[in-house]
């Protein structure tokens, strides 16, 4: 799915070609028009390029009917100069987005502005302050010849009092509405009139296969509601309005109309509709906490309270620290406060604007409740674990998850049953945990008669390296084994995914919504009963592992939690995190959550962090779709540039889905986003069917083939080229595109990779045989002499009291506290032969602490774990400097065998 689509004929359903590709197409048109200025024979290519653009331009308000007609007129009258001049103005306005504010950009003739109603630019051209701009999609059954007049009618509704300015985009069919919703990133609302056609007049094979199942809607009202439902699924943040000439009371009362914000009786209410549209956007724009903080900062408040930094007087009056004030500006200090009253609110017990801000975040992210957290997802995870698990509860946990989960288990006294992700030994990293492994853990617990103690499945989605779970399938199948399991999905990196229709179904909240609507479908019970009959009364574990299990919709208690580091993928300040709740039994744990907030939240949470969470939500609801689209498009451009550049691709490559996800977990046969023949339909199938897929914005750039280890290469990029990358592995670095990236960033990265590749090339070509051999040796060392990744072994018997025969969970908390007794611990240096002797002859080596090397960042030892030869081999081969919990000079911290036999372990509590 090439992002660079300009050389192919355009189709309306190229959903991955984002805003950047559109600008490229306009730039190509400008270049062709300029070539036509120089050579009269080149007109045909201008005609063709404009025709190409016209496949999708009608889905955008700018440049719009008038400017396009003017452009076509210039071409028809054989005027290359006027064509080039107008195309250039349009291309520039699109690139700089100036059309959103500048009235002149909407004029066909800059020197002679038109004055007709239709020519009215988005801002009335007077000395107004900046008003945010958006577009509305109007789906209409009116003939296209009437559209300009209809658009003019919409524009006449504008009032100087309106907080925002919008332009209408008209389409006449279901398919065009679908495409416009996907392609127009400026949309904020959709108005659906009844009576539109189904098919587009354009060719759209990809779209047709997506909408094939919807073709059945023929009745006008049904099509309008069906379209509303489809659009809501694609972009839940949009406000939808229906205009009907029929029985609006019945439509409004129908359960099928829940996607609609309001229903209007068609002919009478245009001004009301306009006001509703503005109000709907206002509701998303409103940031209760941030707005209040701004007001608070303007008030002349005297403080007889803590936080002398508030109001900034001690800073700006100081000779010694005034530079801090100048650096941050006075507003920061005016907005600093330790108050929770006087217009502010308390994060620990929110009742006012923080509560409202959280409610809006819940709406935006599809949750029932949201907690704002100001100490990162490290804290969100610990809060969720503390609130949901009691001592002795079993949680099935990805051993490779972030350390906050492991520490959370220690705090809660829960017993982690570690499950292993599939290894990617070649790149010294882990993938994600196969569903079969998770089901097996549940079935083993069941066989041991302890399934009742299994409370939670705790997984990371997506993983650091971009593996995305089939969240719906994992939850469905686990619920088929135990219908009240709680799911904690750590989506620290994946919060943005809510705003991509392509990634949303794979988020925790997206999948929970799908399961919830499946549970309401009467066919769900039939599906369950049918499978139950097929499986018979006593299916073997193997059969259950092999079968795509259907849960009993009558028994499910859907309990889904998701944490996300808003600061990692959205516009929140560092440490801004959110904890989402979609739990039918939340009322039973609400008090526990309050305790968890009291335990973990600072009593002095930072106001700016809370405000930034509020604002990040606003941004995502109003422009998140376009920003995420852009981040994905940027990732495709980087992937493509690295793959196609002859010099870069000699030494570096980015791992595609086929390399990151073993074929067994790509049941749809999907290979990679950029592969020939991969389109949206195949991508969608992969998202629905495959066990794991790859987040395209997380790019593993292999640098071992260029002779660099990950840490070295990360340092080189940062120190010499001012490029910061994400994590590293032995032979790779992780690049991440996000909503902040621009194509200039891509250009810089590619230039740097070319420069580094050229240096290697010169060194090897000009160097001696020894230089070449040294290079080959270092590539071999990094790419093939890689250590095996050790699996979690098991907890020592002392910490397994009460555990079953088949599973490996343990009392990590008791293991952790043995280290508090210095006499009970010993240190042995890693390369001491004593280690090898003990591994062979015993007594067993038992870790007294977490040992977490960075990279890869997962604990290779947890407290109470028995250390195996594989773990020691891995530690000895590790060439990273940062290993948390391990001091090379002292050695491994172990629990003395005498202490093990006497360690007092709290008796297991029955669930
Ligand atoms: C999967 C995962 N979860 C949680 C965290 C912790 O998030 P935060 O940095 O917001 O505390 C991280 C941090 O890298 C992470 O990778």
Q: What is the pTM of this model?
A: 0.93
Other CB atoms closer than 10 Å to residue 640's CB: what's the count?
18
Determine the residue of 399, 402, 566 to mutate for testing ligand 1's pocket, defined as the one with the most ligand atoms within 8 A of the Cβ atom.
Answer: 402
Return the ligand 1 atom nearest residue 460 CA: 1
Going by C-alpha positions, the residue among 685, 702, 694 that lies closest to residue 632 is: 694
Closest among 394, 391, 409 to 850, alpha carbons compared: 409
Helix (H, G, I), strand (E, B) or coil at 193: strand
Per-residue pLDDT tens over the stretch 206-217: 677 666 655 555
Sign of CA dihedral 765, 766, 770, 776: negative
With 90 as the cut, is the pLDDT of residue 534 above it? Answer: yes
Q: Which 8-state DSSP code applies to residue 129?
A: P
User: Does the pLDDT value for residue 175 go beyond 60?
Assistant: yes
Nearest residue CA, atom 7 of ligand 1? 377
**pLDDT 10s digits, 729-778:** 889 999 999 998 888 899 999 999 999 999 999 998 888 899 999 999 99
pLDDT tens for 659-677 read 999 999 999 999 988 888 8
Atom of ligand 1 nearest to the CA of 567: 10
For residue 565 the two structure tokens come to: 């580091």
CA distance linking residue 389 with residue 393, whole number of Å: 6
Q: How far is the CA of 382 from the centre of ligand 1 (A)?
A: 11
Q: Which residue has the tokens 């910490």?
A: 799
Residues having CB within 6 Å of any atom of ligand 1: 376-378, 402, 404, 460, 464, 490, 492, 565, 577
CA 436 – ligand 1 centroid, Å: 26
Mean of the per-residue pLDDT values for the chain?
A: 89
Give the position, in ligand 1's atom list, of the atom nearest the Cα of 378. 11
Ligand 1 centre distance from Cα of residue 373 (Å)? 13
Distance CA 785, CA 28 (A): 48
What pLDDT is stored for residue 3 in this prediction? 36
Tell which one of 375, 404, 430 to mutate to probe ligand 1, the residue whose CB is within 8 A of the most ligand atoms. 404
Measured CA to CA in angstroms, residue 240 lies from 173, 248, 361, 629 at distances of 16, 15, 19, 21
**pLDDT at residue 24 is higher than 90:** no
Place of tokens 């968890």: 596
How confident is the model at residue 117, as a pLDDT?
A: 43
Q: pLDDT band at residue 127, thresholds of 50, 70 and 90? A: very low
Handedness of CA 67, 71, 76, 81 (dihedral sign): positive
Instruction: Collapse the DSSP code of 828 into the 3-class scheme (helix H, G, I; strand E, B; otherwise coil) and give the result.
Output: strand
Distance of CA 611 from the midpoint of ligand 1 (Å): 21
| Span 33-51, average pLDDT | 91
CB 498 within 8 A of CB 567: no
Ligand 1 centroid – CA 464 distance (Å): 9
pLDDT, residue 530, reads 97
SS3 for 391-460 is CCCEEEEECCCCHHHHHHHHHHCCEEEEECCCEEHHHCEECCCCHHHHHHHHHHHHHCCCHHHEEEEEEE
Count of beta carbons in the 10 Å neighbourhood of residue 376: 20
- Mean pLDDT for 425-431 is 91
Ligand 1 atom closest to the Cα of residue 568 is 10
Gap from CA of 628 to ligand 1 centroid (Å): 20
Q: Are 810 and 415 in contact (CB under 8 A)?
A: yes
Per-residue pLDDT, averaged over 854-860, amounts to 77
CB 560 within 8 A of CB 478: no
**Cα–ligand 1 centroid distance for 149 (angstroms):** 53
Probe target for ligand 1 pocket from 374, 377, 433, 882, with the most ligand atoms within 8 Å of CB: 377
Q: How far is the CA of 124 from the centre of ligand 1 (A)?
A: 47
Q: How far apart are the C-alpha atoms of 888 and 827, rounded to whole Å?
A: 10
Instruction: Extract the tokens encoding 468.
Output: 């995305």
Mean pLDDT, residues 43-66 taken together: 91
What per-residue confidence (pLDDT) applies to 624? 97
Q: Give the ranges where 732-858 is alpha helix by DSSP (H).
A: 743-766, 769-783, 812-818, 833-841
* Nearest atom within ligand 1 for CA of residue 401: 1
- Ligand 1 atom closest to Cα of 464? 16
How is residue 89 written in tokens?
A: 């103005």
Local confidence band at 709 (pLDDT 50, 70, 90 cut-offs): very high
The more confidently predicted of residues 165 and 858 is 165
Measured in angstroms, how far is the CA atom of residue 595 from the centroid of ligand 1? 22
Token couple for 845:
């080596």
- 710 C-alpha vs ligand 1 centroid, how far in Å? 20
Strand partners, 487: 457, 560
Nearest-angstrom CA–CA distance, 225 and 220: 9
Strand partners, 589: none
pLDDT band at 906 (very low <50, low <70, confident <90, very high): very low
Q: Which atom of ligand 1 is nearest to the CA of 463?
A: 1
> Cα of 488 to ligand 1 centre, how many Å?
14
Model confidence at 151: pLDDT above 60: yes
Q: How confident is residue 125, by pLDDT bands cut at 50, 70 and 90?
A: very low
Model confidence band, residue 877 (pLDDT cutoffs 50, 70, 90) = confident
């Amino acid at each position: 799915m090439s992002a660079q689509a300009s050389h192919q004929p355009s189709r309306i359903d190229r959903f991955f070609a984002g805003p950047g590709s559109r600008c490229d197409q306009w730039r190509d048109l400008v270049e062709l028009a300029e070539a036509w200025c120089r050579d009269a024979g080149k007109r045909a290519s201008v005609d063709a390029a404009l025709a190409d653009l016209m496949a999708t331009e009608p889905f955008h308000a700018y440049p719009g009917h008038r400017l396009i007609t003017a452009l076509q007129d210039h071409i028809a009258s054989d005027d290359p100069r006027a064509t080039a001049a107008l195309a250039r103005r349009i291309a520039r306005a699109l690139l700089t987005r100036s059309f959103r504010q500048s009235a002149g950009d909407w004029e066909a003739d800059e020197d002679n502005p038109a004055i007709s109603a239709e020519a009215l630019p988005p801002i009335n051209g007077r000395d107004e302050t900046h008003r945010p701009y958006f577009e509305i999609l109007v789906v209409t059954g009116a003939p296209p010849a009437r559209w300009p007049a209809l658009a003019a009618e919409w524009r006449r509704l504008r009032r100087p009092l309106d907080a925002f300015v919008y332009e209408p985009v008209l389409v006449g069919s279901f398919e065009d509405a679908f495409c416009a919703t996907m392609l127009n990133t400026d949309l904020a609302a959709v108005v659906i009139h009844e009576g539109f056609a189904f098919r587009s007049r354009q060719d759209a094979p990809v779209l047709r296969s997506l909408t094939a199942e919807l073709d059945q809607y023929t009745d006008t009202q049904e099509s309008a509601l069906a379209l509303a439902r489809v659009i809501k699924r694609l972009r839940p943040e949009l406000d939808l309005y229906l205009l009907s000439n029929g029985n609006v009371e019945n439509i409004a009362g129908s359960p099928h109309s829940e996607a609609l914000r309001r229903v209007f009786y068609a002919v009478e209410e245009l001004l009301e509709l306009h006001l509703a549209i503005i109000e709907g956007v206002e509701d998303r724009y409103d940031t209760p906490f941030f707005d209040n903080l701004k007001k608070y900062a303007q008030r002349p408040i005297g403080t007889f309270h803590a936080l002398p930094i508030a109001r900034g007087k001690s800073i700006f009056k100081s000779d010694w620290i005034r530079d801090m004030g100048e650096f941050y500006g006075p507003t920061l200090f005016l907005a600093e406060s330790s108050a929770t009253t006087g217009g502010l609110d308390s994060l620990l017990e929110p009742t006012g604007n923080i509560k409202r801000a959280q409610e809006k975040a819940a709406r935006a992210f599809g949750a029932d409740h949201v907690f704002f957290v100001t100490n990162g997802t490290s804290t969100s995870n610990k809060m969720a674990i503390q609130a949901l698990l009691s001592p002795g509860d079993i949680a099935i946990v990805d051993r490779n998850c972030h350390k906050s989960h492991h520490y959370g288990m220690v705090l809660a006294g829960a017993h982690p049953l570690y499950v292993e992700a599939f290894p990617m030994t070649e790149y010294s990293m882990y993938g994600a945990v196969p569903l079969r492994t998770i089901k097996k853990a549940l079935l083993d617990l069941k066989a041991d008669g302890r399934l009742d103690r299994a409370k939670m499945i705790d997984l990371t989605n997506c993983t650091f390296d971009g593996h995305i779970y089939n969240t719906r399938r994992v939850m469905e199948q686990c619920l088929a084994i135990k219908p009240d399991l709680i799911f904690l999905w750590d989506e620290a990196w994946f919060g943005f995914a809510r705003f991509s229709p392509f990634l949303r179904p794979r988020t925790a909240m997206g999948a929970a919504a799908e399961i919830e609507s499946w549970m309401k479908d009467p066919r769900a019970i039939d599906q369950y009963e049918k499978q139950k009959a097929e499986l018979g009364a006593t299916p073997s574990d193997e059969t259950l592992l092999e079968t795509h299990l259907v849960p009993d919709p009558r028994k499910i208690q859907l309990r889904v939690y998701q944490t996300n580091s808003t600061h990692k993928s959205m516009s929140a300040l560092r440490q801004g995190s959110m904890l989402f709740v979609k739990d039918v039994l939340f009322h039973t744990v609400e008090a526990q959550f309050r305790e968890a907030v009291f335990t973990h939240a600072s009593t002095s949470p930072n106001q700016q962090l809370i405000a930034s969470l509020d604002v990040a939500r606003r941004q995502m609801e109003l422009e998140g779709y376009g920003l995420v689209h852009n981040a994905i498009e940027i990732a495709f451009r980087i992937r493509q540039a690295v793959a196609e550049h002859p010099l870069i691709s000699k030494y570096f490559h980015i791992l595609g889905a086929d390399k990151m996800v073993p074929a067994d977990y790509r049941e749809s046969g999907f290979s990679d986003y950029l592969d020939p023949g991969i389109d949206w339909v195949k991508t969608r199938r992969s998202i629905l069917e495959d066990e794991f897929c790859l987040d395209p914005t997380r790019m593993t750039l292999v640098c071992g083939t260029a002779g660099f280890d990950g840490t070295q290469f990360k340092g080189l990029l940062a120190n010499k080229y001012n490029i910061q990358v994400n994590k590293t592995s032995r032979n790779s670095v992780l690049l991440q595109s996000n909503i902040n990236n621009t194509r200039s960033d891509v250009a810089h990265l590619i230039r740097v990779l070319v420069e580094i590749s050229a240096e290697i090339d010169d060194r090897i070509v000009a160097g001696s045989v020894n230089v070449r051999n040294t290079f080959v040796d270092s590539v071999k060392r990094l790419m093939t002499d890689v250590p095996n990744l050790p699996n979690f072994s098991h907890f020592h018997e002392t910490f397994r009291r009460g555990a079953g025969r088949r599973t490996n969970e343990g009392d990590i908390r008791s293991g952790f506290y043995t280290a508090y007794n210095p006499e009970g611990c010993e240190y042995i240096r890693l390369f001491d032969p004593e280690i090898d002797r003990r591994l062979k002859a015993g007594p067993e080596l038992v870790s007294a602490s977490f040992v977490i090397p960075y990279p890869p960042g997962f604990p290779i030892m947890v407290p109470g774990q028995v250390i195996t030869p594989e773990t020691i081999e891995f530690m000895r081969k590790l060439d990273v400097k940062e290993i948390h919990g391990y001091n090379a000079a002292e050695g491994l911290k172990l629990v003395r065998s005498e202490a093990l036999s006497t360690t007092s372990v709290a008796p297991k509590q029955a669930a």
